[in-house]
Amino acid sequence: MHYLDHNATSPLRPEARAAIERALGSANPSSIHAEGRKARALVEEARARVAKLANTDPQNVIFTSGGTEANALALHAAIYGSAEAEARLTRIFVSAIEHESVLANINALIDRFAGLRLETLPVTANGTLDLDALRVALREGKGRALVAVMAANNETGVIQPIAEIAKLAREAGARLFVDAIQAAGKIPLDFDADYLTISSHKLGGPQGAGALILKSGAPFAPQILGGGQERGHRAGTENVPAIAGFGAAAAEAGSTLSTALRDRFERALKEIVPDAIIFGSDAPRLVNTSNFALPNILAETAVMALDLDSVMISSGAACSSGKVRPSHVLAAMGVSEDVASCALRVSFGWNSTEQDADAAIASLSKLLARARSRAAA
C-alpha cells in the first residue's frame, strides 16, 4: 500500500501508539488519589509537548476532542468572550479559502448576534490572502474586528503571510484567529495570534484529540460547561490515551519532512503530463503537499483508479463524509469548475518513501495511457 493522504489523516506514529497503550485504563485525571495523579501527569506531559510545538506556554493549551471542536471553541470564545460593550466584536473578516469547520461555525454564530457582520476576503490567483483587501477592510467600519485565517491551506498547501496579517490586525486593534491544523509540524508556529488551533491526527497522533492555544488575556467564554476541566475552559473528563498520543506525536512532528518527495513527484508528473496544473506553485507551500489537475481526467475517476493500484490519494479536502464536490478553495483562486473537477491532492508524511511517490506516478501513467487509448479509438 502507498498512502499519500497525510493531509486528511497521518497514520499513527509508533511513538503515539506506545503512549496510547501506556495510558489505556488510566484513572480520572481530576481525581486526587495516586492513580488520578498518574493520569494527570500524562495529560500535563502531553500539554508541555503540544505547547513546545505551538511555541507557547503549557498553561495556554486547552485540549479538545479534535480540530473541528478547537475551531468552534476559538470562534465561540472570541465572540461570546467579547460580549461586553467596550470589547464587543462587530466585524469578522475571513478568507474565502477557510476550512468548512471555520466557515460553518462563523455563519452559525453570525445568525445569533445582531450587529455582527461577516466579510469574506478574496485571495490571489496563487491562493494567498489579498493583503490590500484586508488593509482596506480593517480601515473601514467601526468596532472591534476578528480576523480568521488559516496558516496553510489543507488542499493546496499554500502558506499564508501570517506575520503580515498579524501586523495589520494589531495596528487596527483587531483580534486574530489562526487555524494551524494543517500547518502544525510542517512550519514553525511562531504566530502572534489570540487563538490558534491544532489537531492530533494531522501529526500522526490519534483521532479524537486537538487543542486551542489561547493567548494570555484574549477574550474567552467556555462552550461546554460542567466539571471545570481544562482550568474551566472546556468541561468533560480528558481523554487521557488520546491526549497522551497527541503529545507523543507533537514531540516527533516535523522531524522527517522536506521538499524532496514533493519535488520528486512534481518533476515526474510534469514529465508524463506537461500540461498538468499545479495549484499554488508560485506561492510558499507546505513541503508535503501537491494539489494538481490532469486535464480531462475527472478527480473521482483518478482517485478510484489509483485506489485499485493500492495508491491512496485525495480529490482535495477529505473532511466531508466522502463527498466529492467542487472545491471552494480553487473557486476562490479563480479556477474554473471544469479544471477544479480534475483536481487531485497528494500529501506526504512521516512514513512516506520515494517508492510511494514513484508508485503514484506509475499509476497515473497507466490511467493516462488508458484515457489516451480511449480517445484515439
In terms of CATH, what superfamily is 2-9+256-376? Aspartate Aminotransferase, domain 1 (3.90.1150.10)
Determine the pLDDT at residue 324: 60
Active site residue 319: yes
Determine the pLDDT at residue 321: 47
CATH code: domain 14-252 is 3.40.640.10
Q: Which of 27, 268, 319, 331 is catalytic?
A: 319
Question: Domain coordinates of the chain in residue numbers?
Answer: 2-9+256-376, 14-252
Q: Please, what is the Cα angle at 290 between 287 and 292, to 5 degrees?
A: 160
Give the tens place of pLDDT for each residue, 338-362: 999 999 999 999 999 999 999 999 9
What one-letter code names the amino acid at 41?
A
HEC profile of the chain: CEECECCCCCCCCHHHHHHHHHHCCCCCCCCCCHHHHHHHHHHHHHHHHHHHHCCCCHHHEEEECCHHHHHHHHHHHHHHCCCCCCCCEEEEEEECCCCHHHHHHHHHHHHHCCCCEEEEECECCCCCECHHHHHHHHHCCCCEEEEEEECECCCCCEECCHHHHHHHHHHCCCEEEEECCCCECCECCCCCCCEEEEEHHHCCCCCCCEEEEECCCCCCCCCCCCCCCHHHCCCCCCCHHHHHHHHHHHHHCCCCCCCHHHHHHHHHHHHHCCCCEECCCCCCECCCEEEEECCCCCHHHHHHHHHHCCEECECCCCCCCCCCCCCHHHHHCCCCHHHHCCEEEEECCCCCCHHHHHHHHHHHHHHHHHHHHHHHC
What is the Cα 144 distance to its own chain's centre? Answer: 26
Q: What is the pTM of this model?
A: 0.94
The domains spanning 2-9+256-376 and 14-252 adopt the same CATH topology? no
Low-confidence ranges of the chain (pLDDT < 70): 84-86, 316-324, 377
